[in-house]
Structure 1
Amino acid sequence: MTPEAIPEAILADLVACADLPGAPNARVAGCVQAHLARAGVECTVLPGPEGDRVNLFATIGPRDVPGYVLSGHMDVVPVAGQVWASDPFRLRAEGGRLYGRGATDMKGFLACMIAMVPELLALGLRRPIHLAFSYDEEIGCRGVPHMLAALPGLCAPPLACIVGEPTDMQPVLSHKGKQALELVIEGKAAHSSQPDLGVNAIYPAAEVLLFIRNLAARLAAEGPFDARFSPPCSTVVAGVVQGGAALNIIPDRCTVQMEVRSVPGQAPEAISAEVLARLAALEGVRVSHRELARYPALPPPEDRGLAELLERLTGKPALQSVSYGTEAGLFHGAGVPSIICGPGSISRAHRPDEFVTVDELAGCCAMLRGLGQVAAG
């Protein structure tokens, strides 16, 4: 097998592991471990508190010297309700494109990480390159915090982290933070012919929805603003509303799923707190809420050293910000300077017939090769 074909072969194995977020990930974790073992690298298995999911962490080079982290998630979003031209969990090559669920988001980067291990080993790195594989990123970066908690026992404080989400191999410097919540309003069921005997949960939910709409308008009008983002302010939206079982039954339950995306310097929880206060103020109903997902913003870097390094390795200028979020904000919050850069386009992620190109994988391997040369220094 030629070196150019190695990432493609590894990607085929990874795509075949249909491990979804919120579920056991033994297949894909085992696949990663097997490929690393064949390359001569052992990895540390870091079980999550769920009991059926793990993070993986491997090091090439000395552990007691500050180095670089390559980070990617092993889970992929579901394909339910999507129409694919071929089996989404069987890699299909056509015209230089490699189709499969996760090919872009983000098993393409994982395949490149693994494919480059033999070259990195051969360089005799003076500074280590760490390979970090996380779980449940697609439902709120749930695995990474447990990995970060274990990091001090795994290696010296890293110099930087590269999160390989699909950016067309263009370094990305920042993104917004996010918190997603489910709000629950409970009333009392009754026959619709006697509504006075029940408490309709949908009506107070509507009050909360209007509050969310007005809060979004206030954020758009008053800020705070950060022109590096589009839109330049924090946002709050209600995305899913569910209530009622039948037209002739007064609904005793209504749920609202909402999310906040905040600019750096404004915590998403601070915005959510206003909604939760309005929820708590509802009268005549029982209310509760649960968090669905959360990750902090990745603020623009104060030092451009990491950005300049990635610009040099990729040959592309850094992009100031993106609207989606990543685990880079969590690494930054843990004191590890972070940047986002990986093969494929975010426009293909989560869609039917997701693909990454052979050339994009080659470009990613070239970037990692350059990083290895820097680490070998």
Structure 2
Amino acid sequence: MTSATTPATAVPSTDDPTAAAPSAAGLAWAEKLVSFDTTSRNSNLALIHCIADELTAHGITPVIVPSRDGTKANLFATIPARDGAVTGGVMLAGHTDVVPVDGQDWHSDPFTPEIREDRLYGRGTTDMKAFSGAILGLLPEFLSRELSEPLHFAWTYDEEVGCHGAVVLLAELAARGIHPRIAFVGEPTSMRPVSAHKSSQLFRVSVRGIAAHSSMTSTGVNAIEYAARSIAFIRSLADEHRLSGPFDDTFVVPYTTANVGLVSGGAAVNTVAEHCDFDFEFRTIPGEDPATVISSIEDHLAQLRAEIQQENPAADIRMVPRGTVPGLSPEGPRAALELAQQLSGHAVEETVVYATEAGLFQRAGIDTVVCGPGNMDQGHTANEYIELSQIAACESFLQALSAHLSPTERTAQP
């Protein structure tokens, strides 16, 4: 492999005027993909079939991998190496779903992309449809090369709600005997290579109490009160990690965090609450086993379960997993990192606090880094946008990858 300090082809800096304008094809595809409302609660099938049609038009065979209920799908495709090989090689991976826009103050229709002041606005522009648009715009470039290794494309569903699609996709690839050597996950990193991120563990706690009139509290069991005690315990774990660690100073938030994001319960102020549910997550730094945190919470809930059932044996409290996204570790072969540094022109190794599908790919034995256009500061927000120069930088990265995978052609150049 070419040394990361002597890149054969590097991406221009994003403040370089030569990087300011993306190709017409890449920009058009980014706009087209944004126009599909693929909020995670919706189907992504229209977008998936749109991409599949484009691949087919270029002679690439798409593999559509549906979800269990058939309402969503992953898509996988490969440009084989010149010797016909379809395993090994490099995989470019992105998700198709986006987060909701509900309650956000948008200045334009989130699913009608607009260009203003050298920015492309719309839901999913930075997270992460511009990356996919750049790939689709460069299909002719990829196909014009005699590739030394196969080039794979992967698009998944439900990344934003637990990375469920990636799990299904990896099972399909294993069944087909396809194992990429390297993966680039194009989440927004400003085209700077990211070698580590935290895990994300999502759970729902459901408390079943006993309803009663509020004037007779002794005859009921208040589910909200037990939920509140659970929430307070989770907060205490978060405080313990914030104060005592363990710490990893490569992260902007250098410790494991926890957050209760949704609470629902009760029927009326004069009624002892019969039900209360809450959803929470925690995010561990690499090197801390999520099972340790889970065990602490389970032990606390077991104690509460004994107490609530002392009040009434019909009452209960349960915790159910909603999604498990492993962290991305900087340990491993590091060939993906070195190649990303070479192609991007950024000799850095960074971390992010958000979770991605990269940890799942790494766990499946694929050497993976995160590197994509845009900045997550704009992701999930009202008036989400991506700088046009970032799309151009992504295209340059992909063009450099295409050249890297064509060493014979590169050698033949004067």
Identity of aligned residues (%): 38
Give the Cα separation in 1 of the matches to 2:139 and 2:177: 18
Q: 2:106 matched to which residue of 1? A: 84
2:317 aligned with 1:287, yes or no? yes
State the 1:366 CA deviation.
0.8
Structure 2 Cα separation of the partners of residues 302 and 41 of structure 1:
32
Q: Report if the CA contact (8 A) 1:192-1:250 is conserved.
A: yes
Instruction: Tell me the residue number matched to 2:60.
Output: 41
CA RMSD of aligned residues (A): 1.8
Per the TM alignment, residue 155 of structure 1 is displaced from its structure 2 partner at its CA by 5.5
User: Aligned partners of 2:90 and 2:176: how far apart in 1?
Assistant: 13
Farther off after superposition, 122-131 or 3-12: 3-12
Q: Mean alpha-carbon deviation: is it higher for 278-287 or for 110-119?
A: 278-287
Aligned partners of 2:168, 2:41: CA distance in 1, in Å?
A: 15
Q: Structure 1 residues 357, 232: CA separation in 2 closer, same or farther (over 3 Å shift)?
A: closer
Q: What is the distance in 2 between the residues matched to 1:148 and 1:366?
A: 28
Equivalence for 1:11: 30
Structure 2 CA distance for aligned equivalents of residues 98 and 132 of structure 1 = 23
Q: Name the CA shift for 1:155/1:200 in 2 (closer, same or farther; >3 Å).
A: same
C-alpha separation in 2, matches of 1:74 and 1:42 = 19
1:215-226 equivalence runs, <5 A = 215-226=237-248
Pairing 1:173–2:192 present: no
Note the alpha carbon deviations across 1:245-288, whole angstroms, 9 max, x for none: 21111111122221111112223233122112211222223112
The one-letter code matched in structure 1 to 2:357 is: E
How many angstroms apart in 2 are the aligned matches of 1:192 and 1:364?
60
Taking a change above 3 Å as real, the CA distance of residues 359 and 39 of structure 1, as seen in their structure-2 partners, is farther
- Does the CA contact (< 8 Å) of 2:22 and 2:391 recur in 1? no
Does residue 255 (structure 1) correspond to residue 277 (structure 2)? The answer is yes
After TM superposition, give the deviation of residue 226 of structure 1 in Å.
2.4
Q: Distance in 2 between matches of 1:269 and 1:179?
A: 10
Partner of residue 206 from structure 2, selected from 184, 193, 198: 184
In the alignment, does 2:390 pair up with 1:360? yes
Equivalent residue in structure 2 for 1:242, among 247, 264, 280: 264
Matched, 1:101 2:123: yes
Query: What letter matches 2:228 in structure 1?
Result: A
Query: Which whole-Å CA distance do the structure 1 matches of 2:256 and 2:107 have between them?
Result: 38
1:64 deviates by 3.5
Q: Are residues 233 and 357 of structure 1, via their aligned partners in 2, closer, same or farther at CA, if it must alter by over 3 Å?
A: closer
Deviations 1:274-323 (A, max 9, x none): 11221122222311222222100101134443222211211123242111
Q: Secondary structure, in 3 states, of the residue corresponding to 1:89?
A: coil
Unaligned stretches of 5+ residues in structure 1? none
**Residues 178 and 295 in structure 1, CA contact (< 8 A), matched pair in contact too:** yes
Rounded to whole Å, the distance in 2 between the matches of 1:80 and 1:239 is 16
Q: In the alignment, what sits opposite 1:160?
A: 182
- Post-superposition offset of 1:359: 1.7
CA distance in 2, matches of 1:154, 1:69: 15
Secondary structure of the equivalent of 1:20?
A: coil
| TM alignment of 1:142-153, pairs within 5 A | 142-153=164-175
List structure 1 runs of 4+ shifted beyond 6 angstroms.
none
Indicate if the aligned counterparts of 1:22 and 1:139 stay in contact, CA closer than 8 A: no
Distance 1:42 1:305 in 2: 28
Q: 2:70 aligns with which of 35, 41, 51?
A: 51
Does 1:211 find its partner at 2:230? no
Structure 2, unpaired ranges of 5+: 1-20, 310-314, 408-414
Distance in 2, Cα, partners of 1:93 & 1:236: 37
CA offset at residue 375 of structure 1?
Answer: 1.2
- Once residues 65 and 280 of structure 1 are traced to their aligned partners in structure 2, the CA distance between those partners, rounded to angstroms, is 47
TM-score normalised per structure 2: 0.87
- In 2, Cα distance between equivalents of 1:364 and 1:154: 30
Take 1:152 and 1:241, find their aligned partners in 2: how far apart are those partners? 39
For residues 307 and 60 of structure 1, what CA distance do their matches in structure 2 show? 22
Report SS of the residue matched to 2:212: coil
| C-alpha distance 300-40 of structure 1, shift in aligned 2 (>3 A) | same
Helix, strand or coil at the partner of 2:288: coil
Offset, 1:365: 0.9
Tell me how far apart the structure 2 counterparts of residues 354 and 238 of structure 1 sit (CA, whole Å).
25
